[in-house]
Structure 1
């Protein structure tokens, strides 16, 4: 059985994972699921895909993946980033996957549109990316078919870089119709279901799912904060970075 264990609040990570290989999805953004009840076997293959948040695995993904019973399933790790850098994401994801009982056999660093500063890596993964990822999938499959379970050398540091603070919290405009879609879909329950205009800034991880899902575009980012972020990212996001495979 092939599984996709996905933490993809805005769809970019899922798009990259789908370009590699489709499978039965286990949604790591589901805050209500009991992940300790999820058990895989040594016959299974798991594509574990997460976005890189400041060079780290999002904390909710760490906590939820760590509860899964990997059962010796072979794992292909995928970290997705918005053309800045992914730093320690793959190293951390490997450690969490091994703790959960997976056997890591490959790693991929893939590009997708930046979830906040969407001008960076806009439109990615594009057709060129998808062709590269399909080639990666063929090479990964060849390793699996050969019964090769050697662990790849993945980039990253231990100890990991310090986890940053997600300072950009979406705000709610007056045009909010209080439909509650944002509250229902928030991966960390940061939006008050009784009053979806209210967001707990301490819980919010800045994933931008609420911005993506709002049917009336009432969830927005402060333009000054966005401009500041884009300016800070500009020297780091120049040029087109490419997808990488680690076997």
Structure 2
């Protein structure tokens, strides 16, 4: 199979998943790459491109071992139409649990043929300069491995005539998936008014529309998914996540998750003639 077009379809509040998928696309070497970033609320209704003839790179972050519900909902708008797909889960150096399997299963349900899967590490959304968790990931080595993964996917597809020449993709995970625990409280980033310049960046990047900027900045703690896109985007450091529950978890995780984990990659095996 000759792949000349790649489509990146992702949910990526802090852009780490997108950066990794862009590196994968470079490795694939497609002459045409289209980015379909499903992160923001307006993507719920925008028309989606046809995927025919393309390799689709589907990616999402891992929240508590699962694909975030809002990410799943937006990815469900995709129509695979038999196109090959590589699924990528990006986690914060804890575990990816069932998320990669969940992405694989979702891709199949949407009509894709998963040919490869990978789990990469990105800086944890709760990470701060004072309590770093996988800080700086993906780093140069990660992105190099993402490119190598993309090249391996391209090579596997180049070695077959049709997708039926591949066995079903096998990736780690369990069924039923671990439950998505409902949010126990209204924990969310807050705004230090003494630092806030009312630029509105926090509202612009929120994937669920939980932030509103007027005379003050308000946050809907029930809607917030704790992705921390707003804290990363704030130019003055006014947005902070200092809820006691999160602070306690973060402080323990600095030590518990100190050992850097490496990417895991998986390719569908070819069928024996």
Q: Same fold (TM over 0.5)?
A: yes
Moved more, 45-54 or 130-139: 130-139
1:151-166 equivalent positions in 2, closer than 5 A:
151-165=168-182
Contact 1:35 1:67 in 2 (8 A): no
1:44, CA displacement in angstroms?
Answer: 1.0
Aligned match of 1:220 in 240, 243, 247?
240
Q: Does 1:64 align with 2:94?
A: no
Contact 1:16 1:111 in 2 (8 A): no
CA distance in 2, matches of 1:36, 1:68: 12
CA distance in 2, matches of 1:236, 1:75: 34
Q: Does 1:47 align with 2:57?
A: yes
Aligned match of 1:239 in 227, 251, 259?
259
Aligned match of 1:4 in 5, 8, 28?
8
Partner of 1:29: 39
1:197, CA displacement in angstroms?
Answer: 1.1
TM-score, scaled relative to structure 1: 0.91
Aligned match of 1:176 in 167, 180, 196?
196
1:74-113 equivalent positions in 2, closer than 5 A:
74-113=84-123
Contact 2:10 2:75 in 1 (8 A): no
Partner of 1:19: 23
1:179, CA displacement in angstroms?
Answer: 2.2
TM-score, scaled relative to structure 2: 0.83
CA distance in 1, matches of 2:243, 2:222: 21
CA distance in 2, matches of 1:215, 1:238: 28
**How many pairs are equivalent?**
247
Q: Does 1:117 align with 2:134?
A: no
For residue 207 of structure 1, give the secondary structure of its aligned residue in structure 2. coil
Provide the aligned C-alpha RMSD in A: 2.1
Unmatched segments (≥5 aa) in structure 1: none
